[in-house]
């Protein structure tokens, strides 16, 4: 529990008069794999987007290594190079090839030289099994392939934490496995990850910390064993019961 | 004049082409020059205006920045509405004579033509660019932000290239429109194709014959232009298929590779 990376404290978010997040507290330490589960509309994506500053929190704070990052004079772009994000809809750059998708952040944002960036990108593309496709454009790939490239793109920035927002929800059942396999291997290698997911098997087997959200609050959190084997909160029980039924 | 002048339609056309061909051609050259330069400068204006209009305002931006952006955007909006909402022929007279009478500036045929066509095209392109930027999926912007790009980098490397590709048909449209509509500049004495045709027509009272030649030259210019534009678009789209990088180093180290999925049969394998 030593190396704390992120601490979210009393975080709140409202859209107009719609309170989407209330008093969210949790911490992420080095090597943690945190799964965020909960029913649709409970605020999971909003929480993840707040952590990456794609949404501005209404109140509360987010500390990155003890430093608040949701203040006025914080360089959000610089912060995001340390906290990467993988989206449900991939969001690969449609105008760039697979390789360039993974290189452009390194050269333009991190200002690394081209050769080094390409080598680095290829390393991660190999890792996700997409190296043969370096010349392809995103529209020429299947969903699972796109998502693996998106993961390589995020990894190529050498982030300290990687956020995943339902990375397999837009995929065909057959391709879900290839993306989960990549994520499992990242977890094994000690990558710090926060994963919003409906894949209960992944949450149970891969993560060391599970957060259950309902209606904008954290109802219950704990180890996968605690949450999946002896949930204390009635809503958690109800939610998990629905999953084990079907 | 003399009795040697032809009296039939075809004869007159041939006469016009052989004796006045060079003045038609010179006019056509001026028309093309005005259309191309006006479209290029107009596009640049349109890009600047369209991009400025889509700069996002954040809640925690400084008051000064918010204020300046508001003022600039208001001015740009007026510019766009005025030049899209009035005929170019009237704008031409308005600007040319306005400059001449009240500013004592005689613009000369070229400057006046470039100026009027450019700002006119700029007003149209501004809206096209703005629409093109807005229509790029928000996910593209978020993907760029998520790897740490700032607004400028996001626009330059991700949004703008996609906008450009989407609006090329509109740029082409504007070029073709400018080839035709530069004819209105004859009212301020620009010697382009229509002016040349009218002069020739007036000399013999052969209006129909002279305009026939003008019609054909205009049509040739617009057809060639749209052909070239379509070629350019094809080239920009790149190859429909891609080569798999199946060099040993790449293929064998990828543990998860299941082999390529053929999707539309267009993928070429190996080298
Ligand atoms: N930009 C927005 N403006 C207004 N309301 C929003 C916005 N984004 C999200 N919301 C609302 O916030 C609530 C939580 O949405 P969120 O996307 O975070 O849920 P979620 O838990 O990720 O759901 P899902 O599992 O379906 O992805 C929803 O009621 C949604 O309508
Ligand atoms: Mg969601």
Render each residue's pLDDT in chain B as its tens digit; 271 residues: 455 788 888 888 887 788 878 888 888 899 999 999 999 999 999 999 988 888 887 766 788 888 888 999 999 999 999 999 999 999 999 999 888 888 888 888 888 889 999 999 999 999 899 999 999 999 999 999 999 999 899 999 999 999 988 888 889 999 999 999 989 888 888 888 888 888 887 888 888 888 888 899 899 999 999 999 888 888 877 766 777 776 544 443 333 333 343 333 333 333 2
* Ligand 1 neighbourhood includes A45 CB (under 6 angstroms): yes
Residues B44-73 pLDDT 10s: 999 999 888 888 877 667 888 888 889 999
The sign of the torsion formed by the CA atoms of A232, A238, A243, A244 equals positive
Among candidate residues B80, B130, A32, the one with its CA nearest the CA of residue A8: A32
Name the 3-class secondary structure at B147.
Answer: coil
Nearest CA to ligand 1 atom 2: A15
pLDDT at site A73:
77
Dihedral angle, C-alpha B148, B152, B155, B157, nearest 10 °: -70
Residues A175-223 pLDDT 10s: 899 899 999 999 999 999 999 999 999 999 999 999 999 999 999 999 9
What distance in Å separates the CA atoms of residue B2 and residue B14, rounded to the nearest whole number?
17
pLDDT at site B256:
36
Lowest mean pLDDT among A1-10, A154-163, B58-67, B192-201: B58-67
* H-helix segments, A11-142: 44-51, 76-82, 98-104, 114-127
Domain B21-140+148-237: homologous superfamily in CATH: MetI-like (1.10.3720.10)
Mean pLDDT of chain A: 92
Residue of A95, A131, A145 lying closest to B158 (CB–CB): A95
Taking the CA of A22 as reference, the closest ligand is: 1
Residues B141-152 pLDDT 10s: 999 999 999 989
- Contact map slice: A 154-193 vs B, CB within 8 A: 154, 157, 178, 181-182
What distance in Å separates the CA atoms of residue A163 and residue B236, rounded to the nearest whole number?
34
How large is the average pLDDT for residues A51-77?
Answer: 89
Write out the two tokens for A14: 């409202």
Is A32:A210 a contact under the CB 8 Å cutoff? no
pTM of the model: 0.81
pLDDT at site B266:
36
> Looking at the predicted structure, is the pLDDT value of residue A173 above 60?
yes
pLDDT at site B215:
92
Beta strands in B61-133 (DSSP E): none
C-alpha distances out from residue A87 to A140, A147, A189, A239, B157, Å: 19, 8, 21, 24, 19
Position A118 confidence tier, pLDDT thresholds 50, 70, 90: very high
**Whole-number CA gyration radius for chain A:** 18
C-alpha distances out from residue B137 to A146, A153, B142, B163, Å: 16, 19, 9, 10
Distance from CA of residue B104 to its chain's centroid?
31
CA A42–ligand 1 middle distance (angstroms): 7
pLDDT at site B257:
38
C-alpha distances out from residue B57 to A146, B66, B70, B151, B158, Å: 32, 7, 10, 11, 20
What distance in Å separates the CA atoms of residue B96 and residue B90, rounded to the nearest whole number?
10
DSSP state of B157: I
Q: Which element (helix H / strand E) includes A33?
A: strand A33-38
Among candidate residues B47, B35, B141, the one with its CA nearest the CA of residue A89: B141
Inter-chain contact A93–B59, Cβ cutoff 8 Å?
no
Among candidate residues A42, A53, A51, the one with its CA nearest the CA of residue A20: A42
Is B219:B193 a contact under the CB 8 Å cutoff? no
Among chain B residues, CA nearest to A133: B244
Q: Is B81 on the interface with A (CB under 8 A)?
A: no
What distance in Å separates the CA atoms of residue B72 and residue B13, rounded to the nearest whole number?
53
* Ligand 1 neighbourhood includes A197 CB (under 6 angstroms): no
Residue of A78, A90, A142 lying closest to B148 (CB–CB): A78
Give the burial class of B4: count Cβ atoms within 10 A of its Cβ; 0-12 exposed, 13-18 middle, 19 or more buried: exposed
Give the burial class of A188: count Cβ atoms within 10 A of its Cβ; 0-12 exposed, 13-18 middle, 19 or more buried: exposed
More confident position, A123 or B209: A123
Inter-chain contact B256–A77, Cβ cutoff 8 Å?
no
The pair phi, psi for residue B46, each rounded to 5°, is -60, -40
What distance in Å separates the CA atoms of residue B229 and residue B235, rounded to the nearest whole number?
10
Give the burial class of A11: count Cβ atoms within 10 A of its Cβ; 0-12 exposed, 13-18 middle, 19 or more buried: buried
DSSP state of A9: E
Residues A136-147 pLDDT 10s: 999 999 999 999
Is A221:A26 a contact under the CB 8 Å cutoff? yes
Mutate to test the interface with A, among B146, B249, B262, B266 (most CBs of A within 10 A): B146
pLDDT at site A2:
61
């Amino acid at each position: 529990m030593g190396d704390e990376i992120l601490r979210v404290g009393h975080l709140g978010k409202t859209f107009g008069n719609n309170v989407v997040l209330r008093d969210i507290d949790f911490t992420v330490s080095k090597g943690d794999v945190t799964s965020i589960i909960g029913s649709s509309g409970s605020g999971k994506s909003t929480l993840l987007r707040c952590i990456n500053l794609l949404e501005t929190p209404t109140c509360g704070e987010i500390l990155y290594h003890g430093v608040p990052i949701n203040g006025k004079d914080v360089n959000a772009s610089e912060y995001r190079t340390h906290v990467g994000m993988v989206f449900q809809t991939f969001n690969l750059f449609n105008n760039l090839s697979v390789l360039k998708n993974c290189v452009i952040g390194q050269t333009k944002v991190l200002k690394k030289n081209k050769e080094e960036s390409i080598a680095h990108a290829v390393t991660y593309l190999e890792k996700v099994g997409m190296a043969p496709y370096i010349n392809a454009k995103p529209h020429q790939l299947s969903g699972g392939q796109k998502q693996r490239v998106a993961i390589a793109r995020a990894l190529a920035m050498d982030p300290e934490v990687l956020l995943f927002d339902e990375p397999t929800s837009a995929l065909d059942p057959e391709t879900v496995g290839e993306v989960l396999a990549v994520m499992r291997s990242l977890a094994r290698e000690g990558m710090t990850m926060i994963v919003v997911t409906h894949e209960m098997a992944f949450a149970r087997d891969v993560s060391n910390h599970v957060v259950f959200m309902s209606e904008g609050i954290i109802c219950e959190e704990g180890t996968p064993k605690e949450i999946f084997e002896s949930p204390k909160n009635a809503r958690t029980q109800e939610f998990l019961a629905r999953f084990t039924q079907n | 004049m003399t009795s040697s002048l032809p009296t039939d339609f075809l004869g007159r056309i041939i006469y016009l082409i052989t004796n006045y061909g060079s003045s038609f051609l010179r006019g056509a050259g001026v028309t093309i020059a005005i259309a191309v330069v006006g479209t290029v400068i107009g596009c640049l204006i349109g890009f600047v205006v369209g991009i400025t209009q889509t700069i996002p305002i954040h809640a925690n931006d400084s008051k000064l920045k918010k204020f300046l952006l508001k003022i600039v955007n208001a001015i740009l909006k007026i510019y766009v509405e005025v030049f899209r909402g009035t005929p170019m022929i009237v704008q031409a007279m308005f600007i040319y004579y306005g400059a001449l009478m009240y500013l004592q500036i005689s613009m000369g045929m070229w400057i006046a033509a470039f100026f009027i066509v450019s700002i006119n095209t700029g007003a149209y392109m501004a809206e096209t660019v703005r629409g093109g930027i807005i229509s790029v999926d928000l996910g593209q912007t978020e993907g760029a932000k998520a790897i740490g790009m700032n607004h400028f980098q996001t626009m330059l490397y991700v949004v703008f290239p996609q906008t450009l590709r989407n609006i090329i048909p509109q740029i082409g449209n504007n070029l073709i429109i400018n080839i035709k509509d530069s004819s209105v500049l004859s009212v301020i004495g620009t010697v382009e194709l229509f002016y040349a045709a009218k002069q020739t027509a007036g000399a013999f009272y052969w209006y129909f014959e002279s305009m026939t030649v003008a019609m054909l030259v205009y049509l040739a210019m617009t057809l060639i232009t749209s052909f070239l534009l379509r070629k350019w678009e094809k080239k920009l789209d790149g190859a429909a298929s891609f080569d798999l990088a199946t060099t040993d180093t790449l293929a064998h180290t990828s543990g998860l590779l299941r082999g390529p999925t053929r999707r539309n049969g267009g993928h070429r394998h190996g080298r």
